[in-house]
């Protein structure tokens, strides 16, 4: 047993959601037995398509919905039945609805005034929030005199002004166009990290989740498909659904031929896959072998050895500037995508439509999908 030194009682998990279920109207199971913990200072993302239960889970954490079953703890305290205004939590909605008739300054001060904070404290907090989101010179403007990105930052400043322990963001960048989203994602992370607030973020955009969060739960139909770090989920998806949802991926259908502690061999129509790590289960079962397009190398010469390569015809070449995507039609008729970086040393730019090409990859490039 370890005893934490006095005055240093670090609460590792700020938020704990325990086996929470939400059923609407007796029939709609929006959230299905979900558990998660979020560490203090962490940015955690709930990622999934529309209707999978992200907002419902967030609203239960905020207290706007009561769980049908399960419990929610904040800093060790059971808050399952605490009303929203008694929780040290702030939720920022997708339509962050700034008050149009109030200035930026007054928008940020709104909640503090409602809580009857002393005037000097309100001034100090609003000024520090304005400088945090770099809008000090816009303090006297009205929301309509700001760009979308600036409005979003005001909304964030307003959410943070009350110094919540936990910040909940529901599709915070949904109102911004793609280019602005990307810069705002990083700004948002910097601000959240500077304040040190713990954050749960809801998004349907996998790049946004990857960019912003330290851990991601991929949701579908009310439950978690996979929970892990961005690179866990990207490199080692645990199912076809997750693999498909997160970025571009090739999946070969195959049969396990050999299982050892340090490798697995899977035979698919177009190639033999030698996977450089072990797995549980027996040979003979059907699996998918997932392979990211950027992990494949194209060449004109036949690779050595019998594993981890296939050949086909180049049927499409799509130039994206920094990289090019080749579509390769394999002998079985299956199409795969190969992505190559367009740096000066890469010779794969020599391929033209209709060329024969060999695709090869390393034995750690694949993830075996058993479901």
Ligand X SMILES: Nc1ncnc2c1ncn2[C@@H]1O[C@H](COP(=O)(O)OP(=O)(O)O)[C@@H](O)[C@H]1O
Toward ligand X, which CB reaches closer, 57 or 236?
A: 57
Q: At what angle do helices 148-161 and 104-114 cross, to 10 degrees?
A: 20
Toward ligand X, which CB reaches closer, 49 or 281?
A: 49
Please list, in sequence order, all residues whose beta carbon lies within 8 angstroms of the beta carbon of residue 47, skipping any fewer than 6 positions away.
54, 203, 204, 205, 206, 209, 216, 217, 218, 219, 245
Coil vs helix vs strand at 115: coil
Degrees, nearest 5: CA angle 64-70-72: 55
Q: How far is the CB of 192 from Mg ion (least distance, A)?
A: 20
125 touches which of Mg ion, ligand X, none (CB within 5 to 8 A by kind)?
Answer: none
Does 27 participate in binding ligand X (rule CB under 6 A)?
no
Toward Mg ion, which CB reaches closer, 94 or 299?
A: 94
Q: How far is the CB of 203 from ligand X (least distance, A)?
A: 10
Q: How far is the CB of 167 from ligand X (least distance, A)?
A: 17
Toward ligand X, which CB reaches closer, 171 or 270?
A: 171
Q: How far is the CB of 43 from ligand X (least distance, A)?
A: 18
CA distances from 159 to 61, 133, 153, 195, 348 (A): 16, 12, 10, 12, 50
Q: How far is the CB of 33 from ligand X (least distance, A)?
A: 15
Does 50 participate in binding ligand X (rule CB under 6 A)?
yes
Q: How far is the CB of 128 from ligand X (least distance, A)?
A: 32
The correct pick among 52, 79, 109, 266 for binding ligand X (CB under 6 A) is 52
CA distances from 29 to 18, 20, 53, 220 (A): 16, 11, 9, 12
The correct pick among 20, 32, 55, 133 for binding Mg ion (CB under 5 A) is 55
- Which DSSP symbol is given to 153? H
Does 268 participate in binding Mg ion (rule CB under 5 A)?
no
Q: How far is the CB of 210 from Mg ion (least distance, A)?
A: 19
Please list, in sequence order, all residues whose beta carbon lies within 8 angstroms of the beta carbon of residue 166, skipping any fewer than 6 positions away.
14, 15, 38, 61, 74, 87, 88, 89, 90, 197, 198, 199, 200
Distance of alpha carbon 254 from alpha carbon 8, whole angstroms: 53
Does 206 participate in binding ligand X (rule CB under 6 A)?
no
Q: How far is the CB of 202 from Mg ion (least distance, A)?
A: 6
Options 50-58, 87-95, 304-312, 354-362: segment touching ligand X (CB under 6 A) = 50-58
Toward ligand X, which CB reaches closer, 56 or 340?
A: 56
Instruction: Yes or no: say if 326 and 341 are a contact pair by the CB < 8 Å rule.
Output: no
Toward ligand X, which CB reaches closer, 26 or 118?
A: 26
Q: Which two tokens stand for residue 367?
A: 């993830």
25 touches which of ligand X, Mg ion, none (CB within 5 to 8 A by kind)?
Answer: ligand X
| Residue 56, φ and ψ in degrees, nearest 5 | -60, -45
Size of site (CB under 5 A) for Mg ion? 1
Does 66 participate in binding ligand X (rule CB under 6 A)?
no
The correct pick among 14, 15, 20, 30 for binding ligand X (CB under 6 A) is 30
Window 118-147: residues binding ligand X (CB under 6 A): none
Does 240 participate in binding ligand X (rule CB under 6 A)?
no
Does 203 participate in binding Mg ion (rule CB under 5 A)?
no
Helix (H) or strand (E) holding 72, with range, is: strand 69-74
Toward Mg ion, which CB reaches closer, 173 or 359?
A: 173
Instruction: Yes or no: say if 213 and 56 are a contact pair by the CB < 8 Å rule.
Output: no
Q: How far is the CB of 84 from Mg ion (least distance, A)?
A: 17
Neighbouring CB atoms inside 10 A of 10's CB total 7
Does 150 participate in binding Mg ion (rule CB under 5 A)?
no
Size of site (CB under 6 A) for ligand X? 12
CA distances from 89 to 129, 160, 189, 231 (A): 17, 10, 18, 29
* Residues found near ligand X in the complex (CB under 6 A): 24-25, 28, 30, 48, 50-56
* Residues found near Mg ion in the complex (CB under 5 A): 55
């Amino acid at each position: 047993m370890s005893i934490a030194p006095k005055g240093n009682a670090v609460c590792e998990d700020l938020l704990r959601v325990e086996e929470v279920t939400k059923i609407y109207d007796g029939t709609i199971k929006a959230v299905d037995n979900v558990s998660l913990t979020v560490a203090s200072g962490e940015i955690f993302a709930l990622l999934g398509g529309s209707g999978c239960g992200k907002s419902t889970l967030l609203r239960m954490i905020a207290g706007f919905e009561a769980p049908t079953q399960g419990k929610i703890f904040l800093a060790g305290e059971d808050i399952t039945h605490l009303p929203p205004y008694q929780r040290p939590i702030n939720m920022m909605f997708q339509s962050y609805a700034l008050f149009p008739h109030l200035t930026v300054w007054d928008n940020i001060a709104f909640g503090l005034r409602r809580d009857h904070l002393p005037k000097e404290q309100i001034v100090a907090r609003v000024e520090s929030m304005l400088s945090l989101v770099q809008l000090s010179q816009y303090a006297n403007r009205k929301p309509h005199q700001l760009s979308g990105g600036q409005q979003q930052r005001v909304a964030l400043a307003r959410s943070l002004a009350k110094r919540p322990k936990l910040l909940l963001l529901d599709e915070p960048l949904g109102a911004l166009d793609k280019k602005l989203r990307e810069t705002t994602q990083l700004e948002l992370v910097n601000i959240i990290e500077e304040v040190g607030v713990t954050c749960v973020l809801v998004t349907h955009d996998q790049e946004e989740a990857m960019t912003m969060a330290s851990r991601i739960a991929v949701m579908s139909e009310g439950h978690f498909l996979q929970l892990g770090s961005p690179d866990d989920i990207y490199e080692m998806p645990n199912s076809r659904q997750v693999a498909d949802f997160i970025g571009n991926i090739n999946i070969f259908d195959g049969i396990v031929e050999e299982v050892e502690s340090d490798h697995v061999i899977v035979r698919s129509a177009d190639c033999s896959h030698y996977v450089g790590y072990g797995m549980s289960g027996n040979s003979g079962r059907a699996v998918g072998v997932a392979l990211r397009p950027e992990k494949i190398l194209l060449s004109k010469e036949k690779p050595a050895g019998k594993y981890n390569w296939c050949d086909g015809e180049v049927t499409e070449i799509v130039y994206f500037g920094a990289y090019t995507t080749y579509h390769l039609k394999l002998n079985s008729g299956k199409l795969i995508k190969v992505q190559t970086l367009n740096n000066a040393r890469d010779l794969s730019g020599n391929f033209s439509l209709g060329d024969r090409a060999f695709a090869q990859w390393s034995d750690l490039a694949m993830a075996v999908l058993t479901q």
